[in-house]
Structure 1
Amino acid sequence: MANVSAQNGTNGLPGAGMKSEGLWSQLMTMRRIYTRSPVFRTLLLISAGSFLVVVATALGQIVLNRWNQPFYDAIERRNLDAFFYQLKIFAVIAGGMLLLNILQQWLNQRFRLKLREGLTHDLICEWMRPRRAFRLANAGAIGVNPDQRMQEDAGHLADLTTDLAFGLLQSSILLVSFVGVLWSLSEGFMFQISGRTIDIPGYMVWAAIIYAGSASLLSWRVGRPLIELNGERYSREAALRFTMMRVNEHIDSISLAGGETGERQKLENDLGSVLTALRNIFRAQINLAWVVDGYGWVTVVAPILVAAPVYFSGHISFGGLMMAVGAFNQVHTSLRWFVANIGAITDWRATLHRITSFRSALIATDALNDAEGHIEFVLNDSNRLTLDRLDVASPTGRTRFDEPHIEIAAGERVVITGEPRTGKTLLFRALAGLWPLGSGRVGLPKGEAITFLPRTPYMPPGRLRDVLSYPQTDTFTDTQLIEALARVGLQRMAPLLDNEARWDRELSDDDERLLAFARAILHKPHWLVLDEVLETMDPTTLRRVLSILETELKGSTVVSLGRVLPDNALFSREIRLVREAKPQSRQPARPDRSLEGAQA
C-alpha cells in the first residue's frame, strides 16, 4: 500500500542513457557527497591526524637511515662496543616507529569506516527519495542490482580510497624527505670518461627518477585495460548473484514445474560470463606482472649499482654506501608508488565509475526527457480528482479513457474497466506518479493523500505490528491492531504481533491482501485506489472486504481498476478504458522487459 500526497505529485523519467563521466567530474561528485555529509568534519580531523603521524614517521625513517652509517661502519671496523651501542639506539627508534605504525593503522580504519558511512548513507538517501527506486528499476541496465552498488561497491571504494590515499600521502612525504639526503650523498661526485670529468649534481636522485618513471609509464600502458575489465567483471558478478537470488526466491515454483534443468543452464551461462571476465583480467594481470615483477627484481641490485661509483671512488665509507642504498630505496619506493598500486588504481577507477554512474542515474530519474511527452500533475482547488485528456504511453500502444474529461468527487465509488491488456496496471502506476510517459493532466485533491493498493501488497520483513502500521511505526495501540486483524478475519495472528518474520513467505496471497485492508482500517485513507485487488479474491474474502469498504472505510473515496462486480453493489459509476494498439513513434526510455506485468 503506497501513499501519495497531493502536494507531492511528480513526474520524473529514467534517463535514456547515461553519459560516461570523466575522472574530474567523478571526483567532484564525491566531493559534493562528503562536504554535505555529517561525517565530513570527522574525516577532516582524521586526515589532519594522519598527516601529522605520516610526517613523524618520515622523520623516523630519516633517523633510521642515518643510523645505517654508524652501524655498518662499526661492523666494518669490527668494533663490538659500538655495534651493541647502535643496537640499543635501533631499539629506541624501532619502538617509536612501532607506536606510530599502530596509530596510523587505527586512523586508517577510522577513516575507512567514515568514508563508507558517508557514501552509503548518501546513496541510500538518494535511492529512497519518493519514486526514484521504481524509476531506476525500469531505467535499464543501470538499475540492475542497486543493492550491490550501495553495499559491496561502496565498501570496496572506501577500502581502496583509504589505502591509496594514505599510501600516496606517505610516499609523497618520504620522497620529499629523502630526496635531500640522496642529493647530498651524490652532490660532489664526478665521472671520469675518456679523460674527461663529468659533474652531475645529485645524480642518484636523477637515476631514481628515471628508473621509477620508466617503470610507471610502462606499467600504466600495460595495466590500463584493467579499468574496463574490472568494470565488466563486477557487472557480470552482479548478474550471477541476481540470478541466484531470483532462483532462491522462486524455488517452490521452479521445483513444481520441474524447471531445475533450465535454471541450472541459466546459472551456468552467467557463471561462464563471470569466468570469461576473470580470465580476461588474469591475462591482463600476467602481462602487468612481467613489468612490475621484472622491475622488482632489478630493484634488488639497482641501488647498489647506482651508488657503487661513489663507493669505489672512495667518496663514502661502507656505512655511507648502505645509507645511500637506504635513501635510494626510499626515493625509489616513493616514486614507484604508481607501479606498485597500478592494479588497485584500475580497480578504484572501475569502482568509482560504478558508484558515480549509479548516483547520476538516480538523480537523472527526476529530470524530464525533452524527447518524450509527460503527464502533468497539478493540485486542484477543490477536493476532487480530475483527469483531463489523460493518455498513457507504452511501447506497445496508448491507454486513454473513452471521455476526455473525468471528475471524481470525494466520497464516490468508481470502477475503471477495460478489455484484457488495456493497460489498467499501467494507468494505476501513472496515477501514482510512477509512470510519467504520456500526455494530459492529473488534478489531485487538495490537502489529501491518496493510498494506492497494488495487486501484491508489500510486506516488509520485521515485526507483524510494523507490517500493519507500515509505512509508519509504533503508531497504533495493541488494541487497535488486534481489532483490525479481527475485522479482516485474521484474529489468529493477534498473538504474533511481536514476531519477526518474512511475512511475504509466511502468508497466502489472500491473507496478504486482507492484511493490506487491515492497514487501511488503521490509516483510514481519504482516497483509496485499487489495482485489480477485488477480482483476485474468493467470494468469502470479497464479501468481507466489501463490508469493510461500506463500514470502516465508508468515508473513503474508492477508485478500483478492474472488472464490474457481479451485483455492482459497491460502485455507483463505471468509467471505460480504451487502448490504441497501433505502434507510435515515441518510445519510452526503458527496455521492453520493464513492462512485464505492467499491463493487465
Structure 2
Amino acid sequence: MRDRWLSGKAYWHLANGGNGVDNPDQRIAEDCRLFLTGVLSEAMDLITNIVAVFSYVIVLWNLSSFALSLDFIGLDLEIPRYMLVAAFVYVALSTGLTHWLGKPLKSLYVEQQRREADFRFALARMRSNVDEIAMLGGEAAERQGLDRRFGEIMRNWKRLINRELILGLFTFPYNHTVLRIPLFVALPAYLAGSVNFGGLMEVSTAFSSVVTTLSWFIFSYRDLADLVAASSRLDGFLGAAGAATAGARPAPGAGPLTITDLRLRLPDNRPLLSIDRLSIAMGEAVWLSGASGLGKTTLFKAIAGLWPHASGDIFRPAGKSLFLTQKPYVPIGNLDDAVAYPDPADNFPPAALQAAIAAVGLTHRSGAILAEADAANGGLSGGELQRLALARLLLHRPDFAFLDEATAALDVAAEAELLARVRRDLPQTALVMVAHRRPAGLVRLRTVDLGAPREADARETREPAPA
C-alpha cells in the first residue's frame, strides 16, 4: 500500500485528481490494520467451522436415517433424512434474511471510517497551524469546525446503531432459539414412532450443532461488514493509485529544456497558459514573468510531469532537476536531514552539509530538531525556510533548478546575496525562476514575459541586471 501510494507520484495525483479518494493516510494505516486483523480472525473462525460442520453433518446423517412423509395437494411426498435437509434450508433462509437486514452496514461503516478520518485530519491540521490560529484568535471558528465534523460522526453513528439494532432484533433471538428449534423439527419423527425419546434428544443435539456451525455468517455478520468496508476502501485506494500513475511524463534526454506547442488547461478544461516554443540551456538564468493567475506554477508542475491537463511537448533533459517552492517541505529530523532531502543526510559528507548551511546563514540552526513541535515548518520562519531551500540547492547541485517564488520571503539585499552565491557556486546550473519582481543578484538574467492569461506565445527579452 505504501509503495503503491509513493510510486509514480500517485500521492500527488490522488490529492489533486478529484477521484474521490479521501484520507489516504487513514486507508494505509487504519484500514490496512482493520483488513488484516479481520481477515486473520474470520479466516480462523471459518476454517474451524468448516471442519466442525463436516463432523456434525456426518453425525446428523447417521442419526436421521428416517424420512418425513407428507400429503401435499393430494401427493404423497417422502423426504429422506429430512432433519439434515431442514438444517440447511433453515440456515439458508436465516442467512438471506440476515443479509437483507444488515446490508446497509457496509456503507455505514465506510462512512464512519471516512468521518472519523476527516475529524482526525482537522485536529492534525489545527496542530500544524497553531501560531496562525492563536494570533488570529480563531478558537471559536476552529471549535465550530470541529463540532460540525464531530456532529457528522455522531449522526452516522446513530444510523449505524439503529441498523445494528434492527439486525440484532433477528440475530439475538436466532442465537437463543438454535437449541429449541430442533425439537420441533424432530417432533414429527418422534410422534410417528421413527425415533424414541433418547434418539430425539441425540438428533436434536446433532441438528443444533450443524445449524450453529452453518450459522457462522449470521453470527459474524457485523465483523464481516466491517471487514468488507475496510476492503472496499483499500480496493478503491489501490484502483485510484494505479490509475493516477498512468499519466504522461516529459521525455528525458540530452540537451536544453524545450517546450513546444504547450497548452495548459484547468481541470474543467478552461484554457490557462499557452507557449509556442521556449528553450532554456544549461547555465542560463531565466525569469518567467507574468500576471498572477497566469499559470506559472502550473507550468512548473507540467515540467515535473504532475499536470495531466495539458497538450504539447516538454523535453526535459536527463540530468538532475530540483524544484523549490515558496514554502519548502521540512521532513521530520534535524537540519541536516532537511537540507539533504530528498536524499538521506548520510549520502553527503558532513563538511558539505555544514558548508551549504553556512552559505545561507543558518549555522545558528545547525543540529536543531525540526518538525517535532511544529510539523508545518519545523519551527523555522518564512525567510529561514527559503534559506533552507537554497542550501538544499547548493548541496544537490542540480542541472536544472526551478524556483517558484523561492525568495519571496527574503528582503532584496538577502535575495541578491544568496542568488549571487548560488550563481557563483553553480555556474552550470540552469536557474528558472518565477517571481512577482525581478530577482536580484544575477548579472545575466533572461526575462521571458509569458504575457496575459491564455496568450498563445512567450515573448523573450534580455535585460541587464541593475548595478
**Both proteins in one fold, TM over 0.5:** yes
Structure with greater contact order relative to length (CA < 8 Å, sep ≥ 6): 1
The CA distance in 2 between the partners of 1:518 and 1:192, in whole Å, is: 91
C-alpha contact 1:135 1:434 (8 A) present in aligned 2: yes
Deviation readout 1:29-48 (Å, 9 max, x if unpaired): xxxxxxxxxxxxxxxxxxxx
**Distance change in 2, residues 1:206/1:573 (3 Å):** same
C-alpha distance after superposition, 1:461-483 (max 9, x if no partner): 02333222222211122222222
Q: Does 1:186 align with 2:64?
A: yes
SS in 2 for 1:492: helix
SS in 2 for 1:483: helix
Which digits, 9 at most, give the CA deviation of each residue in 1:398-434, with x for residues without a partner? 1134xx2221111111111112222221112111111
In the alignment, the residues of structure 2 paired with residue 261 and residue 498 of structure 1 have an alpha-carbon distance, to the nearest angstrom, of 29
RMSD between aligned residues: 2.8
Q: Which amino acid aligns with 1:459?
A: V
Confirm whether residue 577 of structure 1 aligns to residue 450 of structure 2. yes
Match 2:127 to one of 230, 233, 248: 248
The answer as to 2:453 corresponding to 1:453 is no
Q: Which amino acid aligns with 2:335?
A: L
Aligned partners of 1:397 and 1:579 also within 8 Å: no
Asked if the contact 2:382–2:409 (Cα under 8 Å) also holds between the matched residues in 1, the reply is no
Task: Tell me by how many angstroms 1:457 deviates.
Answer: 1.2
C-alpha distance in structure 2 between counterparts of 1:498 and 1:221, whole Å: 53
Displacement of 1:248: 2.1
Secondary structure of the residue aligned to 1:144 is coil
Residues 128-162 of structure 1, C-alpha deviation per residue, up to 9 Å, x if partnerless? 01321111101226333100011111111112222
- 8 A Cα contact 1:399 1:578, kept in partner: no
Query: In the alignment, which residue of structure 2 is the partner of 1:296?
Result: 175
Letter of the 2:47 counterpart: L
**1:68 aligns to what?**
none
Gaps of 5+ in 2: 456-467
Q: Which residue of 2 aligns with 1:55?
A: none
- Decide which of 287, 292, 298 is 1:426's aligned counterpart: 298
Match of residue 399, structure 1, among 273, 277, 286:
273
| Shift in Å, 1:532 | 1.1
State the match for 2:54 in structure 1. 176
Pairing 1:349–2:221 present: no
SS of residue paired to 1:534: coil
**Aligned ranges 1:369-518 → 2 under 5 Å:** 377-380=250-253, 382-394=254-266, 395=268, 397-401=271-275, 404-445=276-317, 447-473=318-344, 474-496=346-368, 504-518=377-391
Q: 1:149 aligns with which of 23, 27, 30?
A: 27
CA–CA separation in structure 1 for the residues paired with 2:203 and 2:367: 78
C-alpha displacement of 1:198:
8.1
| Equivalent residue number for residue 41 of structure 1 | none
Which residue of 1 is the match for residue 398 of structure 2? 525
Matched residues in 2 for 1:498 and 1:243: separation? 22
Query: How far, CA to CA, are the matches of 2:106 and 2:337 in structure 1?
Result: 44
- State the partner residue of 2:111: 232
Tell me the SS of whatever aligns to 1:580.
Answer: coil
Moved more, 418-427 or 352-361: 418-427
How far 1:188 moved relative to its partner?
3.4
Secondary structure of the residue aligned to 2:66 is: coil
- Indicate the SS of the match to 2:331: coil
State TM-score, norm by structure 2: 0.87
1:139 matches 2:14: no
Structure 1 residues 494 and 251 mapped into 2: Cα distance closer, same or farther (>3 Å)? closer
Higher helix proportion: 1
Shift of 1:275: 1.3
Q: CA 1:581–1:526 in 2, change beyond 3 Å: closer, same or farther?
A: closer
Distance 2:378 2:435 in 1: 26
Q: For 1:386 and 1:412, locate their aligned partners in 2 and report how far apart those are by CA, in whole Å.
A: 13
Once residues 236 and 218 of structure 2 are traced to their aligned partners in structure 1, the CA distance between those partners, rounded to angstroms, is 27
Give the letter aligned to residue 245 of structure 1: A
CA contact (8 A) 2:70 2:77 kept: yes
Residue 566 to residue 295, structure 1, CA distance change in 2 (3 Å):
closer
Q: Return the alpha-carbon distance in structure 2 between the equivalents of residues 420 and 156 of structure 1.
A: 46
CA contact (8 A) 2:326 2:408 kept: no
- Aligned 8 A contact 2:331 2:371 in 1: no
Contact 1:187–1:201, Cα closer than 8 Å, also in 2: yes
Q: 1:342 Cα shift?
A: 1.9
Q: Decide whether the 8 Å contact of 2:357 with 2:366 is kept in 1.
A: yes
Corresponding position of 2:212 = 333
CA pair 245-578 structure 1, distance change in 2 beyond 3 A = same
> Any idea what SS the aligned residue of 2:293 has?
coil
1:474-500 CA distances to partner (integer Å, 9 max, x unpaired)?
Answer: 112222222221121112233448997
Q: How far apart in 1 are the matches of 2:160 and 2:23? A: 22
Cα distance in 2 for partners of 1:548, 1:175 equals: 78
Give per-residue Cα distances to partners, 1:232-291, cap 9 Å, x unaligned.
Answer: 222222222222222222222122112222222222221121111111111111111111
Separation in 2, partners of 1:500, 1:231: 32
- Aligned identity (percent) is 30
SS in structure 2 opposite 1:459?
A: coil
- Please give the alpha-carbon distance, in whole angstroms, between the structure 2 residues aligned to 1:571 and 1:501: 42
- Relative to structure 1, the CA distance from residue 327 to residue 142 in structure 2 (aligned partners, 3 Å threshold; closer, same or farther) is same
1:580 positional shift: 3.4
Deviations 1:54-101 (A, max 9, x none): xxxxxxxxxxxxxxxxxxxxxxxxxxxxxxxxxxxxxxxxxxxxxxxx
Partners of 1:580 and 1:281 in 2: CA distance: 50
Partner SS, residue 378 of structure 2 = helix
Q: CA deviation at 1:308?
A: 5.2
Counterparts of 1:325 and 1:340, CA distance in 2: 20
Q: Equivalents in 2 of 1:570, 1:321: separation in Å?
A: 103
Q: TM-score with structure 1 length normalisation?
A: 0.69
Q: Which amino acid aligns with 1:168?
A: L
Check the 8 A contact 1:487/1:518 in 2, yes or no: yes
Deviation at 1:378, TM superposition (A): 3.0
Partner of 1:167: 45
Aligned to 1:569, the other structure's residue is in SS state coil
Residue 187 of structure 1: CA displacement?
A: 0.5
Q: Residues 413 and 407 (structure 1 numbering): CA distance in 2 closer, same or farther, change over 3 Å? A: same
SS of aligned partner of 1:471:
coil
> Given residue 182 of structure 1, which amino acid in structure 2 is its aligned partner?
L
Which residue is equivalent to 1:359? 238
Output the CA distance in 1 between the equivalents of 2:369 and 2:132: 29
